[in-house]
Amino acid sequence: METAAVRRHFDAIAGDYDRWKERASCYYGLLADLHRELIPPGASVLEIGCGTGTLLAALEPARGVGVDLSPRMVEIAAARHPRLSFIAGDAAALPAGETFDFVIVPDVIEHLADPAAVFRAVRGRCRPDTRVVVASVNPRWAPVLHLAERLGLKMPEGDHRWLAAGEIARLAREAGFDVLDAFGRILLPKRVPGLSGPLNRAAARRRWLRPACLTHVLVLAPRPASAGDGGGRR
């Protein structure tokens, strides 16, 4: 997977990005809800893979910064959300600097050419009390999602590879993070009266349903440098 190809893909679909999200409003609403459960309004938030900034804005941060590989996405985000800050660039090359209460990595890790490098870069934006929230697609859903894309029912993904939650956790640990929590959400991403509500509430309450959930969530904390790994630096 090449970074340049991912950039070209998202530049190409940027103009239709929010229309695709509107068509899948049930799913994206549930994704926003799970982040709001973890992140209170008024926090400082860094989003990796911010797209057009809709999720970052929904979190109502006191300080919100979004990073995206696609300059076109960032251009749209900055125009729509002038209260927030946006950076066009490769998150793997994000230098250490301003730190945040929360860093979110929502539905983007599958598009990263080097997820380990992104985790190492994110480590440089963390304080000891920072929490990193990674939401990713369960690879077991790949056949359903690929079919939906071929039928024109979901946003085209372009070049990507879905990673299992265990692999993501391994990469995060090697970059200097501990996994504080891991859970699943979203059993039915479409709005079906009388069905989607109960199923998705069940996903939130019953952790044994995690293997069937569309979205897997990891909550990470930076490991103190004194723990013996130099804070993730190799």
What is the CB-side half-sphere exposure of residue 229 using CA atoms within 13 A? 15
Does some domain include residue 233?
no
Residue 175 in this model has a pLDDT that exceeds 90: yes
Query: Between the CA of residue 199 and those of 21, 29, 181, 187, 219, what are the distances in Å?
Result: 21, 15, 21, 6, 23
Does some domain include residue 40?
yes
Mean pLDDT for all residues in the chain: 92
Number of domains comprising the chain:
1
Does some domain include residue 232?
no
Average pLDDT over residues 20-41: 95
Does some domain include residue 234?
no
Q: Among all chains, which residue has been given the structure tokens 């049930």? A: 26
Does some domain include residue 51?
yes
Does some domain include residue 201?
yes
CA 102 to chain centre: 12
Domain region containing 37: 3-226
Q: What is the CATH number of the domain that holds 75?
A: 3.40.50.150
pLDDT tens per residue across span 106-165? 999 999 999 999 999 999 999 999 999 999 999 999 899 889 888 888 888 887 888 999
Q: Which has the closest alpha carbon to 185: 199, 195, 172?
A: 199
Residue 1: pLDDT band with limits 50, 70, 90: low
Residue 233: pLDDT band with limits 50, 70, 90: very low
Average pLDDT over residues 79-86: 97
